[in-house]
Amino acid sequence: MITRVVSSELLPAQSDPQIRERIRDVQLDVVRLASLTTDAVTEGTAAFVDGDLDAADRVVADDDAVDALRHSIEDECLRILTRSAELAPADLRFVGVAMRVAHELERSADLMVNVAKTTWRLFPRPLDNTARRIIERLGRQAVVQIRVAINAFADRDPSWAAALADMDETIDELQKSLFRHILTLQDVKDGAPEPEPEPAHGGASPLADDSPVVAAVQLALVGRHYERIGDHAVTIAQQVHFVVTGERAGRRRSRR
């Protein structure tokens, strides 16, 4: 079987106007998806640091809307790609990248679902003040990086890729700070007994585990989730470089 590939030399300089309008709609949908994702980061972070089980449940439930919008974006991109011969090279790359960006955003929202579920796993164990501050900063930094990445995508501005790589150093350092802090925590301060679980939603969650070791592991995983969200934002910016130039950008490696 022979696979036919449309050469960029055979593509039009400008895309068909009707297709261009559909591409603009895809762009708006991707921006909407980014807004849902940043909402998930903000609300999931607040739920986690406050131990708010109702808010955590809402983050999990709202993920259905994220999934539905991602699938809608992908379906429309695939329909547009059936007319690839009518697309200018940059628009063709944009449509293909839009599917990748939608995936990166949806995965970021999934990571916040994991954070929200960890609210249940740690309940009723409260966060200490240091861990709380670090996680709040991780949440804010993740939102900033997603917004910068999606602005780069909407504006087709690849210059933000290098800036996001520098921002990602910040989120990496915060994640490592959280891990170092976890290692210094005492399991039970001064030998005091663990607090009795408080009933909620008809009783303590079956996911709740009052083992200090398990709690430490869960907290470390939360830091890892935020670090991965930062990586997704960097990937989005790198994809914008490909849309504009047609060349793949290499990822800068952080010094560790």
Return the CATH number at 241. 1.20.58.220
Which parts of the chain have pLDDT scores under 50?
1-8, 10, 187-192, 197, 199-209, 255-256
In a domain, residue 254? The reply is no
Task: Say what the pLDDT of residue 194 is.
Answer: 52
In a domain, residue 143? The reply is yes
Task: Say what the pLDDT of residue 14 is.
Answer: 75
The residue among 142, 137, 131, 133 whose CA lies nearest residue 107 is: 142
In a domain, residue 181? The reply is yes
Task: Say what the pLDDT of residue 203 is.
Answer: 47
Task: Say what the pLDDT of residue 16 is.
Answer: 81
Helices 212-245 and 89-122: crossing angle in degrees, nearest 10, is: 170
Tracing tokens 């009723």 back to the chain, one arrives at 124
Task: Say what the pLDDT of residue 7 is.
Answer: 44
Task: Say what the pLDDT of residue 252 is.
Answer: 54
- DSSP code string of 182-223: HHH--SSGGGPPPPPPPP-TTSS-TT----HHHHHHHHHHHH
In a domain, residue 152? The reply is yes
- Based on C-alpha coordinates, what's the Rg of the chain? 21
The residue among 215, 235, 224, 234 whose CA lies nearest residue 111 is: 224
- Look up the domain containing 76 and give its range: 16-186+204-245
> Are the beta carbons of 83 and 16 closer than 8 angstroms?
yes
The residue among 224, 100, 253, 255 whose CA lies nearest residue 165 is: 253
In a domain, residue 128? The reply is yes
Task: Say what the pLDDT of residue 17 is.
Answer: 86
* CA–CA dist 145, 142 (Å, integer): 5
What's the structural domain count of the chain? Answer: 1
**What separation in angstroms does the CA of 38 have from each of 31, 33, 34, 50, 126?**
11, 9, 6, 18, 24
Task: Say what the pLDDT of residue 26 is.
Answer: 97
Task: Say what the pLDDT of residue 110 is.
Answer: 98
pTM: 0.84
Q: Write out pLDDT tens, residues 143-154.
A: 999 999 999 999
Task: Say what the pLDDT of residue 2 is.
Answer: 34
